[in-house]
Amino acid sequence: MKYLRTMLAILCLATIGMASASAAEEKVVYHMNDGTNPMAALQNIRNHLNASPKAKIVVVTHGPGIDFLLDGAKDKNGNPYEVVVQELEGRNVQFKLCNNTLEARKIDKKQVIPEAIIVPSGVAEVSRLQIQEGYAYLKP
């Protein structure tokens, strides 16, 4: 009888553990430091949200990866990135941009679109999100 109670207790704990794991919030940081094709990365984020609408997504940019978050930036077809950024912000995606990059490239903060949050360091922000807040890392 004691064995049966122990086994039932273990089974209950395992079930509770599985339930809490499946109910865990999905948090993902997209790391963008390449300016080659930001529209493809933004489409990946759209697809991600279509599959997981409640996912909490933060896009962290530095180096050439910030360019699509600058005022007036357009893709190779002349489409403004800001429209897509605004759409994704409306779906609770956050965009963070590296101040170190702005300073190194001598870009005035006024050139950054209002949807982007300037952080001291892009790489430090990626690290902080992963270690302190438990975000999964994706590099589109």
> What DSSP designation does 57 have?
E
Residue 24 is predicted with a pLDDT of 81
Residue 32 is predicted with a pLDDT of 98
Return the H-helix or E-strand segment holding 31: strand 27-32
Q: How far apart are CA 70 and CA 109, in angstroms?
A: 9
Pairing mode, strands 116-119 and 94-98:
parallel
Contacts of 16 (CB under 8 A, 6+ apart): none
Residue 2 is predicted with a pLDDT of 54
Residue ranges and CATH numbers for the domains of the chain are 25-138 (3.40.1260.10)
Contacts of 127 (CB under 8 A, 6+ apart): none
* Per-10-residue mean pLDDT, the chain, length 140: 47 47 83 95 97 98 98 95 97 98 98 98 98 97
